[in-house]
Structure 1
Amino acid sequence: MEPGGHHLEGARVSDRLISASFNQDCTSVAVGTESGYILFSLSSVEKLDRIHECSDIPEVYIVERLFSSSLVVVVSLQMPRRMNVYHFKKGTEICNYSYSSNILSVRLNRQRLIVCLEGAIYIHNIKDMKLLKTISDTPSNPTGLCALSINHSNSYLAYPGSSSIGEILVYDANNLNIVTMIPAHDSPLAAMAFNSTGCKLASASEKGTVIRVFSVPEGERLCEFRRGMKRYVNISCLTFSMDSRFLSASSNTETVHIFKLEQLSQCSPEESPSWSGYMGKMFMAASNYLPTQVSDIMNQDRAFATVRLNFSGQRNVCMLAVIQKLPRLLVASSEGYLYIYNLDPQDGGECVLIKKHRLFATDKLDERRDSNFSYGETPTYAATVARKSIVPSTSTVPGYSEDGGARKGEIIPEHEFAVGPVRLDDENEFPPVSILNN
């Protein structure tokens, strides 16, 4: 199956949006639909340019592009245990791998490609797609929650260390060893994200009231943000801005919160000469004499800016980006729209909606919103759709079994390191690979 064989002028009217994801530097957004997938450029606020469109792969619930390269990873509901890697400009398949259970999430940078199942994580070398490591003793992770630093020089991988409390295991995907364990929350984890350099890690628990930021690799708590105390929410998406000044959090409510890391005296105690900074220090000093629960609340800061969505209770993914030299918040919703908001980096406050784009052409999309996107126990696109038990088809890779190349009791062969990160500007970096099980 090749992704570039047939192109459409627009998505079919019967389509529905299944997935949406931003690439690592927020220069494009990828959407998966019932009839394939589409890549859009994010270089302009006024217009979404289609980079590529494929109609040969039905029911795409994972589509991830590597920065601005031609490499794209696709997983279909029809074969949820198989990962296909394509060079979309050449219209060729680089490789495909099959696994023992449904693929819940895929993460990639210039050095590594991560595949997360409910009970295992696979680390591939992205330069030749060979498998380097299988982490098979992970706690049950039914949502496929994991995060990978986009900085390939460290390639830190974060995943839940427990299914009952909010422990985070930080793993060095380059050197293949555990770095640290962070006791982040009392409740199980719901969302995680690295900043662009991989030196900070943000997390939220299933309670959804507090977002914490830790240093990496030390695991030291740097600061906390309070989303709210009135109700528990399901935080499904955390994302840093590329300069690490801002952190956004979206949930099943109508509000997206944006926090400013600079404003916390806990993050930079020597750089806050203002009255608020002085009061922050006073609170921190006083907190040493107060009960832990009280001092924790005093040391938390609220949102610097907010976005009021015109919908609630639906899936959405967010990204903080600079488009046409101005900071923006982008929200891709399960109803099939991309919303672009202006963010005031000085004063914050309420963000202004400046553009709304439909991600594919359909007149009845709002009438047929799929129940997959209702909030429940699966807070990711991939986990929501992949948990539906669908029998996969036979893998096309020679030597692989019909129900996956890593059945219970088997492992996909692991290989030695290949040298260096992939070169994004070299179209010959991704030649087709005919067989990977030797």
Structure 2
Amino acid sequence: METKEGADGPGGPDRGCASFNQDSTSLAVGTQAGYRLFSVTSVDKLDCIHESVDSPEVYIVERLFSSSLVVVVSQAMPRRMNVYHFKKGTEICNYSYSNNILSVKLNRQRLVVCLEESVYIHNIKDMKLLKTLLSTPSNPTGLCALSTNHSNSFLAYPGSATIGEIIIYDANNLSTVTMIPAHDSPLAAITFSSSGTKLASASERGTVIRVFSIPEGLRLFEFRRGMKRYVNISSLSFSPDAQFLCASSNTETVHIFKLEQHGPTGEEECPTWSAYVGKMFSAASSYLPSQVSGMMCQDRAFATVRLQMAGQCNVCTLAIIQKLPRLLVASSDGQLFIYNVDPQDGGECTLVKTHRLFGEDGQQEAGEREGEGEAEGTASPPQPCQSYAATVAMPASAPVPATLTGYSEDGGARKGEVIPEHEFAAGPVCLDDETEFPPINWCRDGSRSGKDKRT
């Protein structure tokens, strides 16, 4: 659920990246000037939760659910990850890596940093480095996905640079689960369902989208986005109940697919013309070439959206807003489109609201800033921020550690590689109650500062 654009990309100098949080209740946008967090729990009103100009040229910004923890990476220092408590305006910690950071994923157990040829897995409660996956296949876009369910932390990343293999890794138990041969071409997009039991993928060709069971890796569904042209799929996202899957690309069309479970006979309860044709295709598949029969068995889009522009990188998500299913599309020109989705009949989705994330002067046009008014009408108020109680706060000016020569997969480094800095917490961290575990300010010598010392 993330898209990135360079400073000179289609979004212009003010647009760097956009990502929805894990439950699609907020949108994070990075720009040349800094980053902003918006609440997307209302259709008519777009609240700016937080704005920061301390980190210019932001190209990665990720928020942990509705908490105050936000991860930021800027083009000015692409090898350093900064973790902030934005509500307090304090830095929790910062890590320096051996190469440019390409993506960051997080849930309530783990924080994953992806470089081109390595992956770092941290314990999010104390930021301790738990595992370093070295010599992973070349991954120049930093493609990876992390499940967000509280009971699992499955990590998915490319298993090959030439074909669409997916490695499923258990980030809780730090072990490889399986390898899924998903596509013939290299991967372009992957995402987990909210429960972590399904994984959707698309290749660089962008014509076929597949859904697999996790952790078994069995193919459950196959959808065809189109046949006439290859496209660059930039975003995949499941609905909260995993009954729908949306896909956006560099074309003007966003597709929504329905994950329908057919009965034992392959018939739906209410047969439709498309279901009848599909049944005829299935009957013919026994004597047709496998490539042709496979194409016939692929389901088409259940619903679609025609954007007003093409050739841009968009990020999409499906969410329940004010008790109705909605499709949200954040475009690389700084707009947020909200559509109504008909979960019964599908078809063309209806545009209900367009928000501009930035005005001509770089200020928010749609909605009001936090604290300037309550939502109008039936708008649901934004979820309260659950503060992340940090136990580590490293100074931003801390020096990068010297090059190490040893090697250990468990947080070590090979020759010539710089491992990230880290400090260990004195105890466990509660993610919901900042009064129980207040932040600790660490001095350069590793001791705690006076006012934050605890017995």
TM-score by length of 2: 0.80
C-alpha separation between the residues in 2 aligned to 1:418 and 1:26? 33
For each residue in 1:32-62, what CA deviation from the matched residue of structure 2 results, as whole angstroms up to 9, or x when unmatched? 1111111111121111111111111111111
* 2:190 corresponding residue in structure 1: 192
Matches within 5 A, 1:84-99: 84-99=82-97
C-alpha separation between the residues in 2 aligned to 1:109 and 1:28? 15
Larger radius of gyration: 2
Match of 1:349 among 347, 352, 355: 347
C-alpha separation between the residues in 2 aligned to 1:250 and 1:227? 10
Match of 1:63 among 58, 61, 64: 61
Q: Which amino acid aligns with 1:242?
A: P
Q: Secondary structure at the match of 1:236?
A: strand
TM-score by length of 1: 0.83
The alpha-carbon distance between structure 1 residues 39 and 354, as it changes in their structure 2 partners (threshold 3 A), is same
Give how far 1:284 is off: 3.9
Quote the RMSD (CA, aligned, Å). 3.0
- Larger deviation: 287-296 or 241-250? 287-296
Match of 2:336 among 317, 335, 338: 338
CA contact (8 A) 1:58 1:76 kept: yes
Give how far 1:290 is off: 3.0
CA contact (8 A) 2:21 2:62 kept: yes
CA contact (8 A) 1:395 1:401 kept: no
Q: Which amino acid aligns with 2:398?
A: V
For each residue in 1:237-259, what CA deviation from the matched residue of structure 2 results, as whole angstroms up to 9, or x when unmatched? 00001110110000010000000
* 1:265 corresponding residue in structure 2: 262
Structure 1 unaligned regions, length at least 5: 1-13, 366-393
Give how far 1:292 is off: 1.4
* 1:228 corresponding residue in structure 2: 226
- Larger deviation: 20-29 or 280-289? 280-289
* 1:315 corresponding residue in structure 2: 313
* 1:165 corresponding residue in structure 2: 163
C-alpha separation between the residues in 2 aligned to 1:183 and 1:324? 39
C-alpha separation between the residues in 1 aligned to 2:349 and 2:435? 39
C-alpha separation between the residues in 2 aligned to 1:354 and 1:152? 33
Give how far 1:153 is off: 1.4
- Larger deviation: 293-302 or 412-421? 412-421
CA contact (8 A) 1:130 1:436 kept: no
Give how far 1:434 is off: 3.3
Q: Which amino acid aligns with 2:419?
A: I
Q: Secondary structure at the match of 1:222?
A: strand
Q: Which amino acid aligns with 2:118?
A: A
Match of 2:416 among 405, 408, 411: 408
Alignment of 1:105 with 2:106, yes or no, is no
CA contact (8 A) 2:127 2:422 kept: no
For each residue in 1:355-408, what CA deviation from the matched residue of structure 2 results, as whole angstroms up to 9, or x when unmatched? 11111222699xxxxxxxxxxxxxxxxxxxxxxxxxxxx963356259xx9783
Alignment of 1:434 with 2:442, yes or no, is yes
> What's the % identity of the aligned pairs?
68
C-alpha separation between the residues in 1 aligned to 2:150 and 2:425? 14
Matches within 5 A, 1:29-428: 29-262=27-260, 265=262, 272-276=268-272, 280=278, 283-284=281-282, 286-362=284-360, 396-398=397-399, 400-401=401-402, 408-412=416-420, 423-424=431-432, 426=434
CA contact (8 A) 2:234 2:249 kept: yes
Q: Which amino acid aligns with 1:224?
A: E
Q: How many residues align?
A: 394
